[in-house]
Structure formats: C-alpha cells, structure tokens
Amino acid sequence: MTTPKQSQDASPESRSDCSVAVKGVSHRHVAVSEVVEWQLPEEEPTALVYNGRSFAVMLASPADLEDFGLGFSLAEGVVESAAEVDDIEVLRLEAGLAIRMTIPNIRAAALMGRGRAMEGRSGCGICGIETLEALRRPLKQVRRPDVAPDAIAWAFQQLNDHQPMRARNFSVHGAAWCDRLGQVLLSREDVGRHTALDKLIGAMSQAGVDNNDGFVVMSSRCGFELVQKAANVGIGLLASVSAPTTMALSMARQVGMSLAVSAKANAVVVLE
C-alpha cells in the first residue's frame, strides 16, 4: 500500500480536537446566569470513494480520515487486506470531505451491488443498507485472547486519558487498542462509535498490529455493527462502557467473540 496522502485543502482533518467554540448562557439558578464558551464537536459529511465511484457518505469527525478510509474498507469487507488499497487521498469538496481510494477492479465491481442508498448517520452503523439480508452477512470466526479481567478494568481506567477530543467537547466516542495486560497502545475518536472503531482499525493496520494479541475497549455501548466490524478483522474481545444489545451478544457468540462491560466499583463483567 502506498503512503496515504492528504490534500492541502483538507487541512482541518489534521486538527486533534475537532471542536468549535460557541457562545452560550449558563443558568445555575433562576436569577444567576453568565455567558460561557462551549465546545461543540465537528461533524462533516464524508464520502468514501473507490476507483472514482462513491460507495457511502458517512457523518464523521474530520480527524484521522486516512485511518477511517482504510479501517472502513477492512471492517466492511470492501478489501481483504490493507495491501489491496493502493492509495488514499483526502480532499475537501464544496459539499464536504471525500476519501478517495484505489482498489483492485474485482473488488470495485463487487461493490456495485452493495451501494448504500443514503447517508450514514454518526450514531448508526447501518443507515443506507438496502436489504435486511445485508445485516446478516457471513462473519469470520475469531479467537478469544487470554486477557484477565483486571487487564480490562485497567484499560477502562486509561480510556479518558487517550481521548483529547472528549476532553474538549465531552461529546465524542473513543476506541482504543490494548495489549493483553490492558495497556492502551492506540486510540481514535469520532462522533460516531462505529466510525471511531473504523479509524482505530485503520490505525492498527497502518501500525502492523497483530489483531489476535490484544483487545479493543470503547467508550460507548456495544451495538451489533461493532461486533461485525471487529469480527471482520479478527478481534476476539470487545470491551465497552455500556452493555451490549441482545443482537450484539448473539452475533458475538456466533463468531466466538467475548464481550466485556464496565460495571460499578471498577468491576468488569465478561459475557461469553
């Protein structure tokens, strides 16, 4: 895979906090108010373009977009490996941002029947899917890593320290890759939980991470789309701050994945 490049016009993508300051009025009591500065997370329509054809438009925070493009491609099964993505270019267009990628023609042809009919919202990983059958696409079996509950708890404790965007606007999700001892090694953020995971998967691929030798911890609840993405790239343990949905747990069981949840008093619940 060639080195990703970025258009100069896409310079906002390099900002680490992706926040915009706005004025508001703080009301502490009925008779006490003051003007304050509040940070709002940026969110922009971002097109994923393969071989010149737009496949999907997602709403995302304009940071780490090369990682997003690569991670989305892997997690959604557009390509089988990062080596199949020959180039990634981030461009700013009049209507938003575009991540242009070049993939083998056989992969591009396979996308013709998978196009999304509408944009993907930041809070949903399935918007625009045209058929119910697309939700049940075959998933790869994964291998559960040998990770102690204490390691998962340690990862949860570190997560906030690896979310610079959240420190500014308190409104985004974080996804982090941890080793078997629970040490956070990589992290990415986005307004959408599934997009944060896409970005993390892309960063892991760029770093040459062994996806079987650790686990992912996330600041959100665990929806089934997170299980799908994790399974597609061989992640065997997914830990989330909030409990998974029943559909997520059922899907995790089908592929052999463990799900873990943060509980009170720094406890960890592992669901298998």
* Nearest by Cα to 256 from 233, 232, 231: 231
Distance from C-alpha of 182 to C-alpha of 128, rounded to nearest angstrom: 36
Q: Which residues of 106-142 are buried (b: 16+ CB within 10 A; e: fewer)?
A: ebbeebeebebeebbebebbbbbbeeeeeeeeebeeb
Three-class secondary structure of residue 120 per DSSP: strand
Report residue 225 as tokens: 């789309």
Contact residues for 229 (Cβ-Cβ < 8 A; gap 6+): 75, 76, 125, 194, 197, 198, 201
124 belongs to the catalytic site: yes
Residue 10 and residue 89 in contact, taking contact as beta carbons nearer than 8 Å: no
Annotated active-site residue in 124, 127, 178, 222: 124
The partner residues of 186 in beta bridges, in order of sequence, read: 177
φ and ψ of 141, to 5 deg: -75, 145
HSE on the CB side for 78, CA within 13 Å?
Answer: 31
Annotated catalytic sites, by residue?
A: 124
